Amino acid sequence: MNHPHLFSPLEVGPYQLAHRLVMAPLTRMRAARPSLAPRPLNAEYYAQRATPGGLIIAEASPVIASGFGSPGVPGIYSQAQVEGWREVVDAVHAKGGVIFLQLWHVGRVSHSSFQPGGGLPVAPSAVPIPTDLKTMTADGRVTTYETPRALRTSEIAGLIEAFRSGARNALAAGFDGVEIHGANGYVIEQFLHSHTNLRTDQYGGSIENRVRFLMEVTEAVIAVWGAERVGVRLSPYGIANGSGEADPMPLYTHAIERLNPLHLAYLHFIEPRSSGAGRAEVNWQNVPSAMVLFRPIVKGVLISAGGFTGDIAEAAIAEGHADAIAFGRIFISNPDLPRRLQQGFPLTPYNRKTFYGGEAEGYTDYPTHDAMEPA
């Protein structure tokens, strides 16, 4: 067998995983319009990638209508969305898989065209994303980001409540757990980072204050699910969407030390080599490894994601740097990725042009290795 450590069992919360190869959350922009609910095509896509005892983390799903920054992304705040996700969950469970949903709010990584009433996106502070980064409007135009509106202190409790509500809806949809998206420059990371959080209230200033929003969201979600079925995703050295902390070690050490006593299902790190968050291939030479740096202080299960091959994943687990490895882009083009890595079968290259939006092409039409073999 190839990669014996990658294909050894692992306990994640109450679940006994058969292997340590996780499907990472991947935005694909193929929800139904205008409901933004998952549809049968989405259920087929996830079912294709489900394996007995394998963990899938479903794509980031906004917990409130103001949380969007991209078209065609599924939400988790309406009854139609809950029902659509239930079909996805049922399809994965029918294959014996375990599936968590990633809870999302993009904060300033949005545009007024996505906002109810056409208002400005909200963020911890009125700090715009640099103009060299572009966004897409709801009708598909490419433009620069707007300066977001700073959340009033009185509004923050409502945003936390939206995460709690999204967690309840994920429970109603039958998911096995949820992951809080605290990475890639979205709203939680905007609170964490000093250059996007200029607040002077209890949510800004000191590291303790900047971590407060993450902790309050996590505690709200735990109140719904129990800690053993909640994960948190972080990108300590990421630069996606204009993010980045000059010295991440003190900030993320504090955050991890605050999260450790909660006994979460897992922490999920994005390696710096994937800090482009899907916009482009990233040159990751001479960047630090989040899993290597923070593994000594993470007390529970650690999942790492970002540019892994089977061999690198095997080494990371064998050396104790991570407990499981999440694969993203290569899982898109190889629906049977676990089998291919375990058997040493060749991998199908992905087509970046079909990542976002569209129908079956580049989504459900990638064949398994067995289907490609002559009869």
Buried/exposed code over 240-263 (b: 16+ C-beta within 10 A; e: otherwise)? bbbbbbeebeebbebbbebbeebe
Which residue shows structure tokens 């892994």? 308
348 DSSP 8-state letter:
P
Return the structure tokens found at 122. 């909200």
Q: 90 exposed, middle or buried (CB, 10 Å; 0-12, 13-18, 19+)? A: middle
d(CA 21, CA 7): 7
- The answer to whether 203 and 153 have CB atoms below 8 angstroms apart is yes
Angle between helices 207-225 and 248-259 (to 10 degrees): 30
N residues, the chain: 375
d(CA 66, CA 290): 31
d(CA 266, CA 228): 8
Q: Where are the alpha helices (DSSP H) in the chain?
A: 40-48, 79-94, 153-172, 187-192, 207-225, 248-259, 290-294, 310-318, 329-333, 337-343, 369-372
Give me the catalytic one of 45, 77, 145, 186.
186
d(CA 292, CA 307): 15
| CA dihedral sign of residues 203, 207, 213, 215 | negative
Active site residue 237: no
259 DSSP 8-state letter:
H
* Residue 203 CB neighbour total at 10 angstroms: 19
147 DSSP 8-state letter:
P
Quick one: which H or E segment has residue 327?
strand 324-327
Q: Dump the DSSP string for 206-229.
A: SHHHHHHHHHHHHHHHHHHH-GGG
Which residues are part of the catalytic machinery? 186
